[in-house]
A and B are shown apart, each in its own frame.
Chain A
Amino acid sequence: AQSVTQLGSHVSVSEGALVLLRCNYSSSVPPYLFWYVQYPNQGLQLLLKYTSAATLVKGINGFEAEFKKSETSFHLTKPSAHMSDAAEYFCAVRKTSYDKVIFGPGTSLSVIP
């Protein structure tokens, strides 16, 4: 069965510092991978997705993620954190387009002024 792990349930960074949120998945085949962001009192919004076209994926708000098959990882990064980036971030995996999306437990990002 597929699973998604996110290292660190809470991450704090200073404003302007690098953001790194970790995601590892278990899958027998390269899956579809997603990062979602959830702002307080809102639903989930797609940040970016990997669909095998390119290993480095750029998303909205300056975020990007790199698919590394050898490490079964899909870490999310942003060069410079902004206060508005404070939110909950979820990594998710989908084996095929017919499969359900499986979410990781989430990482809460705090940005310190």
Chain B
Amino acid sequence: EAQVTQNPRYLITVTGKKLTVTCSQNMNHEYMSWYRQDPGLGLRQIYYSMNVEVTDKGDVPEGYKVSRKEKRNFPLILESPSPNQTSLYFCASSFGRTNTEAFFGQGTRLTVV
């Protein structure tokens, strides 16, 4: 089954404690991205990757890091989480060279206290 898998689904952490949210896709997609969803703001892109070892900032990259060492994986790293990063996070993937829709993971609800 084609899917994008995020882990964990829920996470409560304390300010400053480094965390990683994993994302994996099994569709051989080139393009992967991370979004955060906040009420009234829709989804805002944090980082994206066009292919292995190619990443770039989205609209709200501050406080986040990503890496793309393998085509299937695109982890999101919060080196020092702060309460304003409390949000619902989605990973998405799509083919880069054709107009196909983005496939989304189930989401990770992060709370930073």
Contacts and interface: CB of A to CB of B under 8 A. Distances in A.
Interface of A: 4, 9, 32, 34, 36, 41-46, 49, 51, 90, 94, 97-98, 100-106
B42 A105 contact: yes
B102 A101 contact: yes
A43 B58 contact: no
Contact of A97 (B90, B99, B106): B99
The 6 closest A-B pairs by CB, nearest first: A43-B104, A103-B43, A105-B42, A103-B42, A44-B104, A46-B101
B74 interface: no
Contact of A106 (B42, B45, B50): B42
A42 B107 CA distance: 7
Given A34-B101, A94-B99, A105-B41, 6 more contacts: A9-B40, A44-B43, A97-B97, A97-B98, A98-B96, A98-B97
Contacts of B75: none
A4 B106 CA distance: 23
Given A34-B101, A97-B96, A97-B99, A43 B106 contact: yes
B24 interface: no
Contacts of B106: 42-43
Interface in B70-113: 90, 92, 95-102, 104-107
Interface string B34-53: 01000011111100101000
A98 B83 CA distance: 33
Contacts of A104: 42
Given A43-B90, A49-B101, A100 B33 contact: yes
Contacts of B45: 100-102
A43 B105 contact: yes
Nearest to B41: A105
Contacts of A41: 107
A5 B2 CA distance: 31
B1 to A, nearest CB: 14
Given A34-B101, A43-B105, A46-B101, A100 B48 contact: yes
Contacts of A43: 4, 90, 104-107
